[in-house]
């Protein structure tokens, strides 16, 4: 887990007593902080534990288990029977169940089939399904599905982090855009205030009429209102940003009001390798989750198909008075216990219906996967195009802003020479400030568009 310098500087919490050691919260620091400490990021890590515990439960189906039985009857000082049995059963991945058993029975009225040597009777053998359950049974199906689920939790974790990544990106750059707009409005008010003071002084000296002071003052009031709106928007964006700031103990943080985002134009997104991103679509976590659904259903299909077979269960045990007696005993010779069970429904309607239902589910998920693949590819292409267009618009708009700045400067010079009016200066400045706000929005959209391309390719925090 990364420990960022901003944590030690304590600049997040207002009034922490250390001052403002770091006045800029950069995009990279913010994203790293979100990835490490946001509750959703912590929750994403916990999904892996769900997969591990599910797998542990499925493996428990192959745990050996011991058993014991005692059946006793006493009446009028007579022991009718005393039957004692204990053993161990060991399921295996091959579908064979190994069995070890010891049996000791006594009693006056003990049935002949339960009579064993005085020291008891040992049995060692196995049970195997030759029909239903030979290739796959409930235990093996559950284990295979649990392994798939454990793999799916990793893809689910990545998808949750990708969603968090895109949300955090949008929050940060909209916060940065609101701050950039605030600076524009502050500059506009500053210029209007300076001009008003100059015109007021000229009026007092008799160089300008009183109406010019009224126009200059109304411009100041108008820009004060615009500044107040920008301040309110910046405050709201800051509150939204605070939702994504948590410390390592999962306590929410409140960013110091003096902390500001980095400049919009100071962030340079990485290069977009279009071909590489298109190839990444194949391993997008959303597609991986659907692939895991198909794998899960395929195991269910195999299990349902196995249910069409009849039950043919074979049991065989060696019998001996002691373990040394097992030596030299041949198969199906003396001292053994053998049994076979055969059964099957007549119509198999339940089994055929279950298999057909699973096949329908597989077809539905396959269609869903094909659609999702096309949607992701279309989303990626759209994101790449949006990002390229925004870059072109920014390059074009830079020239527009340069032209507007020259017009404003020229109008100021003309005004100082008495060849222009206050109305024209205000109009030129208003056009310039509006253009600067548009420029800010373009940079915000561009930075978010870059992250949308990464998310469409399934990257998110990966590689940051």
Boundaries of every domain in the chain: 5-37+140-296+358-456, 65-139+310-348
Q: Are 355 and 137 in contact (CB under 8 A)?
A: no
User: What is the DSSP-derived secondary structure letter of residue 282?
Assistant: G
Q: Are 172 and 243 in contact (CB under 8 A)?
A: no
Q: Read off the tokens for 183.
A: 């600076």
Q: CB atoms < 10 A from the CB of 88, how many?
A: 13
Q: Read off the tokens for 131.
A: 């029909």
Widest Cα–Cα separation across the chain? 136
Per-residue burial over 307-334, b if 16 or more Cβ lie within 10 Å, else e, is bebeebbbebbbbbeeeeeeeeeeeeee
Each residue's pLDDT tens digit, 326-383: 555 554 567 888 899 999 999 999 999 999 999 999 999 999 999 999 999 999 999 9
The contacts of residue 203 (CB under 8 Å, 6+ apart) are 209, 210, 212, 213
Please state, in angstroms and rounded to a whole number, the distance separating the CA atoms of residues 426 and 400: 18
**Tens digit of pLDDT per residue, the chain (464 long)?**
333 334 333 444 443 332 344 489 999 999 999 999 999 999 998 999 999 999 999 999 999 999 999 999 998 888 888 999 999 999 998 889 999 999 998 888 888 888 888 888 888 999 999 999 889 999 999 999 999 999 999 999 999 999 999 999 999 999 999 999 999 999 999 998 988 888 888 777 876 778 878 888 888 999 999 999 999 999 999 999 999 999 998 899 999 989 999 999 888 887 888 899 999 999 999 999 999 999 999 999 999 999 999 999 999 988 887 765 455 555 456 788 889 999 999 999 999 999 999 999 999 999 999 999 999 999 999 999 999 999 999 999 999 999 999 998 898 888 777 777 778 888 899 999 999 999 999 999 999 999 999 999 999 888 77
Q: Are 220 and 422 in contact (CB under 8 A)?
A: no
CA 96 remoteness from chain centre: 40
Please state, in angstroms and rounded to a whole number, the distance separating the CA atoms of residues 123 and 129: 20
Each residue's pLDDT tens digit, 183-202: 999 999 999 898 888 888 87
Please state, in angstroms and rounded to a whole number, the distance separating the CA atoms of residues 272 and 454: 9
Q: Read off the tokens for 285.
A: 């976590």
Nearest C-alpha neighbor of 352 from the set 363, 343, 344, 364: 344
Radius of gyration of the chain (CA): 39
DSSP 61-116: GG--EEEEEEEEEEETTEEEEEEEEEEEEEE-TTS-EEEEEEEEEE-TT--GGG--
Pairs from 388-396 (Cβ < 8 Å, separation ≥ 24): 390/442, 390/445, 390/446, 390/449, 391/446, 393/442, 394/439, 394/442, 394/443, 394/446
Give the containing element (helix H, strand E) for 121. Answer: strand 121-129
Let me know if domain 5-37+140-296+358-456 sits in CATH 3.30.230.10.
no
């Amino acid at each position: 887990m990364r420990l960022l310098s901003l944590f030690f500087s304590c600049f997040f919490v207002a009034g922490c007593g250390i001052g403002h050691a770091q006045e800029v919260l950069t995009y990279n620091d913010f994203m790293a902080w979100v990835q490490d400490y946001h509750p959703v990021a912590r929750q994403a890590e916990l999904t892996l534990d769900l997969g591990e515990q599910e797998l542990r439960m499925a493996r428990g189906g192959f745990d050996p288990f011991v058993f014991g039985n005692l059946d006793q009857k006493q009446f009028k000082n007579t022991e009718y029977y005393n039957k004692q049995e204990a053993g161990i059963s060991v399921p295996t991945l091959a579908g064979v169940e190994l069995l070890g058993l010891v049996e000791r029975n006594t009693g006056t009225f003990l049935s002949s089939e339960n009579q064993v040597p005085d020291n008891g009777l040992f049995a060692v053998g196995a049970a195997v399904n030759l029909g239903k359950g030979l290739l796959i049974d409930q235990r093996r199906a559950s284990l295979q599905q649990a392994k798939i689920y454990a793999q799916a939790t990793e893809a689910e974790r990545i998808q949750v982090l990708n969603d968090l990544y895109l949300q955090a990106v949008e929050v940060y750059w909209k916060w940065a855009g609101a701050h950039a707009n605030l600076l524009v409005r502050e500059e506009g008010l500053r210029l209007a205030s300076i001009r008003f003071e100059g015109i007021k002084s000229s009026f007092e000296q008799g160089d300008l009429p009183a109406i010019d002071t009224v126009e200059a003052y109304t411009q100041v009031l108008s820009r004060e209102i615009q500044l107040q709106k920008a301040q309110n928007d910046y405050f709201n964006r800051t509150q939204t940003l605070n939702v994504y700031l948590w410390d390592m103990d999962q306590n929410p943080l409140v960013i110091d009001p003096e902390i500001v985002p980095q400049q919009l134009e100071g962030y340079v997104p990485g290069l977009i390798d279009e071909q590489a991103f298109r190839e990444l679509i194949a391993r997008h976590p959303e597609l991986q989750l659907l692939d895991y659904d198909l794998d899960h259903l395929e195991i269910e299909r195999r299990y349902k198909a196995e249910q069409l077979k009849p039950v043919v269960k074979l049991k065989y045990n060696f019998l001996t008075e002691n373990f040394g007696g097992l030596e030299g005993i041949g198969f199906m010779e003396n001292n053994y216990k053998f049994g076979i069970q055969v059964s099957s429904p007549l119509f198999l309607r339940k089994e055929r219906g279950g298999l057909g239902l699973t096949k329908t589910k597989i077809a539905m998920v396959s269609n869903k996967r094909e659609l999702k693949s096309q949607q992701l590819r279309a989303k990626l292409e759209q994101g790449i195009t949006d990002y390229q267009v925004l870059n072109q618009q920014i390059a074009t708009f830079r020239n527009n802003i340069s032209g507007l700045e020259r017009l404003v400067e020229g109008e100021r010079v003309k005004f100082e020479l008495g060849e222009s009016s206050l109305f024209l200066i205000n109009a030129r400045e208003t056009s310039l400030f509006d253009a600067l706000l548009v420029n800010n929005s373009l940079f915000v959209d561009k930075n978010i568009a870059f992250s949308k391309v990464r998310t469409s390719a399934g990257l998110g925090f990966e590689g940051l």
